[in-house]
A and B are shown apart, each in its own frame.
Chain A
Amino acid sequence: MRARIPFALSALTAGLLGAGQAAANDPVELTMYYPVAVGGALTDVVDGLVEDFENEHPDIDVEAIYAGNYDDTRVRAMSAMEAGDTPQLSVMFSIDLYELLEQDAIVAFDDLVESDAEREWLDSFYPGLMENGRLDGKTYGIPFQRSTIVLFWNKDAFEAAGLDPETPPENWEQMAEMAATVREASDGDQWGVMVPSTGYPYWMFQAFAFQNGHRLMSEDGTEVYFDDPAAIEALEYWVSLADEHDAMPDDTIEWGTLRQNFIEESTAMMWHTTGNLSAVRSDADFDFGVAMLPMKTQRGSPTGGGNFYVFKDTTEEEQRAAMTFIRWMTAPERAAAWSIETGYMGVSPAAYETEALRDYVEDFAPAAVARDQLEHSTAELSTYQGGRVRRALDNAVQAALTGQMTPEEALTQAQQEAEGVLRRYAR
């Protein structure tokens, strides 16, 4: 892959630069990979934060390397590990937990904390964001760029279709109706709603299933429940948005171009990660609102995004330094600044109590929707052999949306595949 070459070069350069500085004052050197999944200038934000940290902590030197999307970052970190060049810490997909554990790659934060203040810090985050980072009572992932799925709606389009621009759909039925109304009123020019079905289809499907009161996996990551009637009903509803209501385009909808679709007003509503909020705010030249996802029997969205992990194959000194860095990065003021810059959630209640974020939320109400939705959230789909299990579900969702299979057939097949893969892990 050609992406490797510049990476190797930059790693080399980083090594050389690092070596030069080490001779000067011998700081602890940390390498961190991190992903950006929503585009935009997030790398600048991270670089700025790292610079601030280094100014405050001259004894620690952090090399933050942007590594692509979540999958790329996992590959980079794992390859570096296999090459004997383990990074000290990384931001990786929150759902990589089981894989990282199976590879014996990471350490629990419980074994790193020393003081009471640090122990308190471990408990300072929203519990909903910790679900994907904890296993058997130990904490392995610290939430950083975390999101949920929210509904973005175009108020101008609602008004043009004769709907109340200030009222987003409350439930499935309303969403289908409102979306169909927009479609009709625009004479087929504008779609009512788009839910992305490439990239992370399983994630969107989890929201539908959870709104229908159904969780797709067991807490210990060894079982999945894809073919439950509630799950089938959820997928049937998703398919019906295109098939019956003519409110959503046929076939799959691309994750990567969806935001552009919304900004160019080719759809009146979209489901997308909160991580897009700041970008939509700066690009949209119409009035838009952000709401919690609609409900069937309950509200619901999976959480998503990246956690900090500390790697095992590093010295104790480096692990301590990594923790200092992570604590600094997730402190309320930084969490608030990060949330304002990106749209990702402030990861702790304290972040929303900072003046900066409080003022921001007051001025721009959509910024609080993700937080408010957190109490209705569920952990992102994460199991042993997660790559295969998620792929099975992705395929099922796409097969149903493209009309290759009925939702029931597709989910039954995904369930069988997942069970085959997970057989050895049942406790």
Chain B
Amino acid sequence: MSEPVALKLTAKDFKSNQEVRWCPGCGDYAILAAVQGFMPELNIPRERIVFVSGIGCSSRFPYYMNTYGMHSIHGRAPAIATGLSTTRPDLSVWVVTGDGDALSIGGNHLIHALRRNVNLKILLFNNQIYGLTKGQYSPTSEVGKITKSTPVGSADAPFNPLSLALGAEATFVARTIDSDRKHLQSVLRAAAEHEGSAFVEIYQNCNIFNDGAFEQLKGPATRDDSLIRLEHNQPITFGRDGQFCVVHPAGGFGLEVRETAATAAEEIVVHDATITDPAYAFALSRLPGLDLRNTPIGVFRSVRRPSYDSVVQEQLDAARATVTDTREQQFAGLLHSGDTWTID
């Protein structure tokens, strides 16, 4: 993906001339700044980068990026980006979406983009609420959520976005947090390097309609004991003093959190995002409880599988390789194929 010549772009080069219109204090600002700060690292000319979004607060994102961009319609960004990426393998295509956009109205397109492994970098800003429509519960809101549309509490269970992506055969699945710029950028880097669909869930605070939803993972008193920072090839331990660890209990299906002191070192799971079986990453995705304790962040899964774009391109190349005539000649041949007859 990298260019031979250093382009020497800066974050400023990626700021468009449009006034940013999110609510003051919105987590989207931090994500925008982190993305703009990361873009120069790609060393891809701005004109070859495209941001496609759907509808929602997060989907205003393309207007603020000085790249090519399309703010489309609700839920359809993965479908539109699929057509773009498939026909234009020279582009770096990013999809920006939210929990309502990607998991509710656009759920079908998301899972199919992931299963196809289209070469898209999908950033899902999850704030567990509908913001732009002023505060209805979303498909990631907790059961019993009291909102304008659910005055006595919502009745439906939420999606776990990472579990869903893994079930949809995603080859790259990661999670990060709006307020941790360094971590966010490290995840973007890994996503950008991945060939195929990269699915990144970004916990994002909506300070108007769902303020503090991720406070457990941000506040200095709680975050260290709650966040599990996944590092490839490292034993999974966490907590202020590394007092917790993750193990795979014998006879169990999933992973569990134990106290490190009471666990033999060889029992602690060593994180490996390249494990082919999605069951491991799925088990990781199921660790957090409703209170957000034991929340892993980082790259859960990163495996290699040919992207849809590359398979399609190979088919096109193979079909063209046999061609010797001009397109006009070939087309004349096609017109005259089958049973024809001539009248003098």
Question: Do A and B come together as binding partners?
Answer: no
- A interface with B by C-beta (< 8 Å): none
